[in-house]
Structure 1
Amino acid sequence: MSVSTRIAGLGVHLPDAVRSTAETERRLRAENPGLRLATGLISRMTGVECVHVAPDDWQASDLAVAASRQALEESPGEIDLVLFTAAAQDLVEPATSHIVAAKLGLNAPVMDVKNACNSVINGMQVADALIRTGQYRRVLVASGEKTSVSVRWRLGDSRQFIPSFPGYVMGDAGAAVVLEASDDPDGGIRASRFFAESRHWNVGTLPGGGTMRTHDPDANYFHMDGAGLQKAFLEIGPEPVERMLRETGYTMDDFDLVAIHQVALPYLAPIFERLGVRSDRSLVTVAEHGNIASATLPLQLRLARERGMVGPGSLVLLIGLAGGISLGLMVVRL
């Protein structure tokens, strides 16, 4: 009997504290008196109105644990593998998945799967393969993104503002998915495709904690070439999505929801138009939540459920975009 992998539980945690973009601008001016920052510039450029901010004493693992408790409440039962899947991490060593498992009281093998904002869907890809090959039956895929600790508030000079800009619209969040083996041949994860253009790896970096700039205090902040990032994704274009649709036989009209990673509001309309995504089958989350990295797609899936856009049997397309540069596509029957 063939085995498929279905989503049995879903959880998303958004911290209660919210920082508006106006508050962000006020703090930047207060800490950098020489910075000429036009009022409302960040909001006009990105469409982001506010972001969630985790408590100072919370770690990335705490965000993942909060979301995991929701997912496990929705789908109780034994977990035989824990994957921590986020751009953030508590420590370089050990794997943050150990800390998540310990906080949840789980006694299971663990590993971290990291690929920037595609970490969750890459984790789902790994879990799907391990479940289909019979090595595990129920896998917890958990993400905790605490990006607020890497925002540069004190600028050395005005030239640091532009490469630091994307960090001002990144928010904190946790997400978790329980994946389990199923004998439904038409349900669960139906297809996945992943692509990378790694020559663009340096257009967006957060070097801290690595061997490249180990003891450099300036390496603990986001440093991104926003124009270069946009150009890299435009080079990839819609062809990988179109290719996957050809190979799988699906069309955009088959999907009840197309969830796509969101960095800034102005980028979305051209992407939706090029892909042929209908507005009534997509959700905009970046305005109210900012860029929450790998937790973005789980949040859109949860909101779509809450709003009645999807339910059991719905077909969903997940589109992940990540620094590096990488693109992830996953078709899921709920």
Structure 2
Amino acid sequence: MHTDHAARGRTVRVGITAVASCLPESAVTSRRLQEHITAASGLSLPARTLERVTGIVSRRAVGEGEYASTLAVRAARTALTRAALTPYDVDLLVFASATRDMVEPATAHVVQAELGSRAHALDVTNACNSFVNGIDLARSMIVAGRARKALVVTGETPSRAVRYAPSGAQQLRDGFAGYTFGDAGAAVVLEGVERGGILDVDTETHSEHWAVGGIFGGGSRHPRGDEHTYFRGDGTELREVFEKVGTSVLDRMRERTGLDWTDFRHILVHQVTVPYLERFVELTGIPRERLVVTVPELGNLASATLGVQLDRVHGGLRSGDRVLFVGLGGGVSIMTMVWEKA
């Protein structure tokens, strides 16, 4: 599935007009995390195992009384200020995240209650592609005339789903991919623009791999019990699945739009570990200097990854600069989005 408004001659263009992100104050180094795991479990790991295997030096973690909605609200307030908008100017609020405050109601309502707006509010969840999915949904609603100004937010607190005291080597292996996680929030404002905007969106889904990794509790399969509230997944298997799926969605985007890697000012890619990012660059041929590398410093930020990266470069963008979003999410799904700054 793809959308190319320029090619179809549509008059409605939707762009990102403000960006913000939020990082918790507390930083947790891989060395400190490994010390905590070994002390709690009694297992012995070679020195700096987490850092050597993942390339992650540190990550951020929420503190007591901070939730997914907390990070989303902080990012949202900054984004609205940067867009010179009030909460009441927004008529669509999408909370798009792999994390939520609770099963029910939608965390979007928690965010909206804090902001004080009356927008149509809903959640979108699709693992690490949630935020890009949320942006695409908001864009579609504006194109359809259902909204004029949309606020898309994410708040990721995957650190709350990590098993810090594994009972043995098997639990350590099952939860090892969770040790890459870091917490963060992000927000974007979307509205109609005269030029540029979101030019192209494409998705590819391979749902036969849904069981490769995830947090399997809280739904009708496992409604109760701590065992299913921890992230479980084999990092090597996840990487193999994405390599098997290949780069076809990226190839289609380039063929359809006529754009090459050098036509993008920045290429934002979901980042799990440093070795995985290096393998991604090797498979795609994306020039490393186009990337915004965040994983060594912040870890795997789930769906907040691309929002944090965009916030870091947004201030330096000029009108006409293009940015490519590449999302990789459990389930599994791959997404691309081409955005040009108005």
- The two structures have a TM-score, normalised by structure 1, of 0.96
Which residue of the partner structure matches residue 257 of structure 2? Answer: 248
* Distance (whole Å) between structure 2 residues aligned to residue 233 and residue 204 of structure 1: 12
The offset of 1:200, in angstroms, is 0.4
Runs of 4+ residues over 6 Å off in structure 1: none
1:214-225 paired onto structure 2 within 5 Å: 214-225=223-234
Contact kept, 8 Å, 1:53 with 1:172, in 2: the verdict is: yes
* Superposition CA RMSD, Å: 1.1
> Is 1:282 equivalent to 2:288 in the alignment?
no
The offset of 1:50, in angstroms, is 0.5
> Is 1:333 equivalent to 2:329 in the alignment?
no
Which residue of the partner structure matches residue 323 of structure 1? Answer: 330
> Is 1:120 equivalent to 2:128 in the alignment?
no
- The two structures have a TM-score, normalised by structure 2, of 0.94
Which residue of the partner structure matches residue 257 of structure 1? Answer: 266
> Is 1:166 equivalent to 2:174 in the alignment?
no
Of 141, 159, 167, which residue of structure 1 is paired with 2:152?
A: 141
Contact kept, 8 Å, 1:261 with 1:319, in 2: the verdict is: yes
CA-to-aligned-CA distance 1:203-228 (integer Å, 9 cap, x gap)? 10101211111122101101002121
> Is 1:42 equivalent to 2:50 in the alignment?
yes
SS of structure 2 residue aligned to 1:97:
helix
CA-to-aligned-CA distance 1:187-241 (integer Å, 9 cap, x gap)? 1100000111000000101012111111221011010021211111001111210
Contact kept, 8 Å, 1:84 with 1:96, in 2: the verdict is: yes
> Is 1:66 equivalent to 2:80 in the alignment?
no
Contact kept, 8 Å, 1:90 with 1:96, in 2: the verdict is: yes
Q: What percentage of residue pairs aligned between the two structures are identical?
A: 38
* Aligned-partner residue type, residue 306 of structure 2: L
* Aligned-partner residue type, residue 75 of structure 2: A
Which residue of the partner structure matches residue 117 of structure 2? Answer: 106
CA-to-aligned-CA distance 1:44-67 (integer Å, 9 cap, x gap)? 110000010111211110110011
The offset of 1:116, in angstroms, is 0.7
Which residue of the partner structure matches residue 306 of structure 2? Answer: 297
Which residue of the partner structure matches residue 319 of structure 2? Answer: 312
- Gaps in structure 2 of 5+ consecutive residues: 1-9
* Distance (whole Å) between structure 2 residues aligned to residue 311 and residue 11 of structure 1: 17
* Aligned-partner residue type, residue 331 of structure 2: G
* Structure 1 stretch displaced more, 243-252 or 170-179: 243-252
* Distance (whole Å) between structure 1 residues aligned to residue 49 and residue 161 of structure 2: 21
Which residue of the partner structure matches residue 273 of structure 1? Answer: 282
Which residue of the partner structure matches residue 202 of structure 1? Answer: 211
* Distance (whole Å) between structure 1 residues aligned to residue 181 and residue 260 of structure 2: 32
Which residue of the partner structure matches residue 5 of structure 2? Answer: none
* Distance (whole Å) between structure 2 residues aligned to residue 282 and residue 182 of structure 1: 26
Contact kept, 8 Å, 1:50 with 1:169, in 2: the verdict is: no
* Distance (whole Å) between structure 2 residues aligned to residue 312 and residue 111 of structure 1: 31
Contact kept, 8 Å, 1:51 with 1:172, in 2: the verdict is: yes
Which residue of the partner structure matches residue 53 of structure 1? Answer: 61
* Aligned-partner residue type, residue 61 of structure 2: V
* Distance (whole Å) between structure 2 residues aligned to residue 269 and residue 4 of structure 1: 35
* Distance (whole Å) between structure 2 residues aligned to residue 154 and residue 311 of structure 1: 48
Which residue of the partner structure matches residue 7 of structure 2? Answer: none
Of 226, 235, 245, which residue of structure 1 is paired with 2:235?
A: 226
CA-to-aligned-CA distance 1:23-42 (integer Å, 9 cap, x gap)? 00110111111x12111111
* Aligned-partner residue type, residue 328 of structure 2: L
SS of structure 2 residue aligned to 1:178:
strand
Of 65, 75, 80, which residue of structure 1 is paired with 2:91?
A: 80
* Distance (whole Å) between structure 1 residues aligned to residue 295 and residue 25 of structure 2: 17
The offset of 1:156, in angstroms, is 2.2
* Distance (whole Å) between structure 1 residues aligned to residue 319 and residue 310 of structure 2: 12
Q: How many residues align?
A: 329
* Aligned-partner residue type, residue 156 of structure 1: S
